[in-house]
Chain A
Amino acid sequence: MVTQFWKNILKKISSNPFSKKSHIKLGLYGPPNGGKSTLANRICLDWLGEEMSTVSHIAHETREINIKEQVSIKNKKGRELTFSLVDTPGIATRIDYEEFLKKGMKKTEAKKRAKEATKGVIDAIKWLDNMDSVVVVLDATKDPYSQVNITIIGNLQARNIPVLIAANKVDLKKSSVEAMKAAFPQYEIVGISAKYGKNIEDFYEQLFKLAK
């Protein structure tokens, strides 16, 4: 805790408050299957013309930290923001290889995936300290009060890392951005569909505010 305090002080001293940051490390965090990689792909497709991650309906598809350097986005006012986009594995408190068996995987494959997934969660948590800003990608059809959501957001707050919450999957009938807003009233929340690009312009505008 003391180390973290000094890290935060050093971080503040080393940054020039009069210069506008143009290159930041932007992390995508959240529980598995919230749509982090889909959002990473959407951002990269929109601004670089290529995808960066593979996506799947089976949880823990992303099991390693993926980084896309030099992603530049522009807003309507012509401002440019350049960042390294960091797509992280979903953070979970439980990983059972038998869940993968139910999705039709073979036992060896399922066990391997589970082992890689546990390492991915550990890496994602360790990488929290490297982030300048974070977009927490949450599935808007799911319970916002999940402890994983609260722990991720709480840890970002404890590290003084600016947070934007992307309430994803608003194209689905069950989604509720309002429920997300009620659960996290102190945070900026933008409802999006990373898959179909719904409301993505608002999301990009929010990124500029996040990186201020």
Chain B
Amino acid sequence: MVTFHFVPYQDIENLGSAKRVNKLLNIVKEDKIVIMEGRLRKEEEADLIEITMEEINAKFHGIELSVISPETYSQNAVQKIKGVFANVLLGDRIGFTIIGPASVVKKIERNPDKIEMFMKESVNGKKKKRR
């Protein structure tokens, strides 16, 4: 069984970078897949990788990460302008972030309009998500 844990943006909004990253990583270390509303800042993504590396041991082999935000898929000019305004109003609340434990998620592929999440063989087959 695969467990998805939804994290609303308001749960991390007022946390500092280190606390945000640790909160997400602690959920992932329970073998759950985090679906977070919004995205981390770029520096926080790097922090997430850095802390993940520090935590790697015989049981925890790391994470699979994917961020879906308006910049990551093709848009026309009008959509881009709308995106700029949305960005000003909503900031990092736009889009969503998927973080899965490497023991459960084999890989996440973005195509870029389609997301495919491949699970490890021990987990029930292949799961596929489409946007």
Chain A positions within 8 Å of B, measured between CB atoms, are 1, 4, 91-96, 114, 118-119, 121-122, 125-126, 128, 143, 145, 147-148, 150-151, 154-155, 157-158, 183
B62 near A145 (CB under 8 angstroms)?
Answer: no
Known: A145-B72, A145-B110, A150-B72. A95 touches B56 (CB 8 A): yes
Report whether over half of chain B's contact residues are helix, strand or loop; otherwise say mixed. Answer: mixed
Could you mark each residue 42-82 of chain B with 1 if its beta carbon is under 8 Å from any beta carbon of chain A, else 0? Answer: 11011001101110100001111111000010000000000
Q: How many residues of B contact A (CB 8 A)?
A: 25
B63 near A151 (CB under 8 angstroms)?
Answer: no
Report whether over half of chain A's contact residues are helix, strand or loop; otherwise say mixed. Answer: helix
B62 near A94 (CB under 8 angstroms)?
Answer: yes
Please list 18 pairs of residues, one from A and one from B, whose beta carbons are closer than 8 Å in the complex, sorted by A's number. A4-B43, A91-B49, A93-B49, A93-B52, A93-B65, A94-B64, A94-B102, A95-B56, A95-B61, A96-B102, A118-B53, A118-B56, A119-B53, A122-B53, A143-B109, A145-B109, A154-B42, A155-B42
Residues of A within 8 A of B67 (CB): 147, 150
Residues of B within 8 A of A183 (CB): 112
